[in-house]
Amino acid sequence: MVKMRETENSVEKKVGIKYYSSMEDGVEGNLKKSAEDFIVREVISNQYEEYNEEKFSEYEHTAFKVKAKNWETNNLIREISDRLGVSKNRVGFAGTKDKKAITEQYMTIYNIKKKQLEKLKIKDVELTNYGLTNDRNSLGNLIGNKFEITIHDIINPQNISKITKKLNKNGIINYFGIQRFGTKRPNTHIVGKKIVQEKPEKAVKNYIAKSYPQEPEQTRKARKEIWDNWDNKPYLKGLKKLPNHLRYERAMLDHLHSHPNDYIGALRNLPQNLLQMFVHSYQSYLYHKMINERIKQKIPLNQCTEGDVVCYTDLETGILNRYATERVEPHNKQKIQEMIDVEKAFITAPLIGTQTKRAFGKMGEIEDKILNKEGTKPRDFKIKSMPELTSKGLRREITLKTQIKAQTKNNRLKLKFFLPKGCYATLITREYMKNGYN
Q: Which residues are catalytic?
A: 98
Angle at 12 between CA 156 and CA 279, to 5 degrees: 145
DSSP string, 60-92: SEEEEEEEEES--HHHHHHHHHHHHTS-GGGEE
25 CB burial (10 A radius; 0-12, 13-18, 19+): middle
Q: Rounded distance, CA 438 to CA 435, Å?
A: 7
DSSP secondary structure, 387-411, as one string: GGG----EEEESEE----EEEEETT
Cβ contacts of 170 within 8 Å, gap of 6 or more: 21, 302, 399
CB-CB contact of 340 with 347 (8 Å): yes
**Which residues are 109's β-sheet partners?**
62, 91
**Nearby residues of 126 by Cβ (< 8 Å), 6 or more positions away:** 66, 67, 68
Task: Determine whether 226 is exposed, middle or buried from the number of CB atoms within 10 Å of its CB (0-12, 13-18, 19+).
Answer: buried
Label residue 205 left, alpha or beta by phi (over 0 means left) and psi (-120 to 50 means alpha).
alpha
Closest CA to 37 of 129, 128, 103, 121: 103
Q: Give the DSSP letter string of 283-347.
A: HHHHHHHHHHHHHHTT--SSS--TT-EEEEE-TTT--EEEEEEEE--TTTHHHHHHHHHTTSEEE
The amino acid occupying position 181 is: F
- Eight-class DSSP state of 183: S
